[in-house]
Amino acid sequence: MKQHITFLLKERASHYGNRQVFKFKNKTNGKYESLRWNALLVQTNKVSKSLISLGFGHNDKIGILSSNKPEWMVSDLGIFAVRGVVVPFYATASKQEIKYIVDETEMKLLFVGSNKQIEKAVWLLDHCKTLAKIVVFEGDLPENDDRFIAWPGFLDLSDDDQLNAKLDQIIEEIQPDDLATIIYTSGTTGEPKGGMIGHDNFMNAFKINYERLNINENDISLCFLPLSHVFERTWTLFLLYCGATNVFLENPREVIDELPMVKPTAMCTVPRFFDKTYDGIQKETEKWPSFKKRIFNWSIEIGHKYIEYLKNSEKAPGLLELKRFIANKLVLKKLRSIFGGEIKVMPCSGAAINPKILRFFHAVGIFINYGYGATETTATVSCFKHDKYNFDYCGSIMPEVSVKISEQKEILVKGKTIFKGYFNKPEETAKVMKDGWYMTGDEGYIVDDEYLVMTDRIKDLIKTSGGKYVSPQKLELLLGQDKYIEQLVIIGDNRKYITALIVPSFENLKEQAIKFGLDPDNNDLIASNNEINNFIQQRIDLCQAELTPHRKVVKFTLLPETFSIDNKALTNTLKIRRKVIAKQYHDLIEKMYLSA
């Protein structure tokens, strides 16, 4: 089999035939339906032939702007077969963000998901020089506008029998190092950069992940992170490699409701998912009577003792095994039912995870396979082995991936999964590629020639005006453990001292608000109240009691509105946009320093 996703699909479809590969919810009756392997191959061939009929082929940049759905992947795979290059967009991306990428790639064709994206597409057609055609998965097409074509009509373009030979000829010319996709980074700093990933990068990623992860054809995964991100995209393609079933969830906010119905055995996630789930569990247990709390805490404690043996593949003492059996019956099994009850592994990456929360879910029996990676490395550089791991590390370095630490303590990565550079940005590529090594921009170290530890984002390090370096991520992770703090951003570069913008947990503050005679539903009033601010100050003082003075938050401002994708404070992968926030809240930040 040629090392190319098109041949992978053909081989798997031939092997699995009528077995289900994708599941999706019918919007009319709310029930899940299946797409079979052989039907998937038929549909992707139709996409390929329709693209040929419109004149698209080798190296053409074709966009997908949609939430998760089978049509997303069918289009993805169909574009691959004509040697086209897929450029994915977040469904929530702004018109200006999309325009930048459309213009840079000289894109002519764009697939869109629904009415929300159709509105953006109308604007893009009028403001982008090259964009000429929009294929709509579902939604209301603009009247008398032949630039738009509905999904069924697009597929009908494949009916010309002469297209079969043309497609066969293109597939014959496929090369393993064909460019598969250009994935644009979320742009937390500067303008977006398009990471070029080849089919060879993907196929090598599948190979090493198959060696590391215990995933097979019997597994079911729930696809709720955006397919436009390298993590979910690579994972979804990897599931095809494994022959597993993938269930598409169009609205990620429904994930907790859908888990018990889908009952996945695997699902890739980000740390924020576990933060929110952990907070939800804690809020629920606070309502329980004391005897029930004691049972819960005892069960979790037993779970913690048990995983200390599990992580080293050691057999737990007989008495602990018995206690764990009881704890499982009383509490742990019920907690796992939140995730559907069948989860065996949850790959997790994208940001630092609180070790306390990581250990908590392992104690429950949820195997969070925490790892480290980037778009430029085709996702995974390191992750937990199923039988050997350490909660304080980012897992073991992947097979066939080389990692070394520079003199500046920067993590450098080399291997067959390293990207082909940034599209149309040779100077930016040269900055991060040295002698085949990708310079990640992350600080870290290696333990026992196996475990990778990422400690800081080098570019994000704060240097105070006194010349002291402070890690904002470490401080945010520390203070963010407090249940009264929902989100925060540390400020202090070239400043006399460290400050913070804090979004409090208004839900958890309701009791305090009532105590101080405030309306518990008035966030503006709560955030500006002196008693509430003093209360938060006490919590912060406790959290940072052991820190050296230059690393402590000296002043903070409570914000009434959460950081979100909608207000541009978060990227589409829920990472903090530090420069955007610094600009948006410039006056509030200056006030914290002017009042010194």
pLDDT digits (tens, 9 = 90+) for 57-78: 999 999 999 999 999 999 999 9
420, part of any domain: yes
Q: What was the pLDDT predicted at 392? A: 94
Nearest alpha carbon to residue 246 among 44, 23, 71, 70: 23
Q: What is the rounded CA–CA span in Å between residue 311 and residue 303?
A: 12
Flag whether 236 is in a domain.
yes
Question: 289 with 337, same domain?
Answer: yes
Mention every residue, 6+ apart, whose C-beta is less than 8 A from residue 300.
Answer: 327, 331, 360, 363, 364
Residues near 12 by Cβ (< 8 Å), separated by ≥ 6? 37, 240, 241, 243
Residues 246 and 283 in one domain: no
- Which residue type, as a one-letter code, is found at position 399? P
Per residue in 218-262, pLDDT tens?
999 999 999 999 999 999 999 999 999 999 999 998 999 999 999
Question: Does one domain contain both 152 and 120?
Answer: yes
Q: What percent of the chain has pLDDT over 70?
A: 98
Judge if 438 and 467 occupy the same domain: no
Contact 68, 159 (CB under 8 A): no
Is the pLDDT at 459 greater than 90? The verdict is: no
For residue 595, the model assigns a pLDDT of 60
Cα 492 from Cα 500, distance rounded (Å): 8
Which band of pLDDT confidence, cut at 50, 70 and 90, is reported for residue 188?
A: very low
Q: What is the average per-residue pLDDT within 451-466? A: 85
Residue-wise pLDDT for 76-107, tens only, equals 999 999 999 999 999 988 899 899 999 999 99
Asked if pLDDT for residue 403 goes beyond 80, the answer is yes
Residues 6+ apart with CB under 8 A from 484: 504, 505, 508, 509, 512, 535, 536, 539
pLDDT mean over 371-376: 95
Is there a domain that residue 185 lies in?
no
pTM of the model: 0.86
Mean pLDDT along residues 278-304:
94
Residue 186 forms part of a structural domain: no
- Does some domain include residue 393? yes
How many separate domains does the chain show?
A: 3
Q: Is 181 a domain residue?
A: no
- Domain interval for residue 541: 461-594
- With 0-12 / 13-18 / 19 or more C-beta atoms within 10 angstroms meaning exposed / middle / buried, residue 52 is buried
Residue where a domain stops, chosen among 457, 472, 506: 457
Which residues have C-beta within 8 Å of that of residue 212, sequence separation ≥ 6? 380, 383, 385, 398, 399
Query: Mean pLDDT throughout 452-462?
Result: 85
Q: Which of 422, 438, 457 is the last residue of a domain?
A: 457
Strands (E), 316-385: 346-348, 368-374, 379-383
471 and 432 in a single domain? The answer is no
Residues 426 and 559 in one domain: no
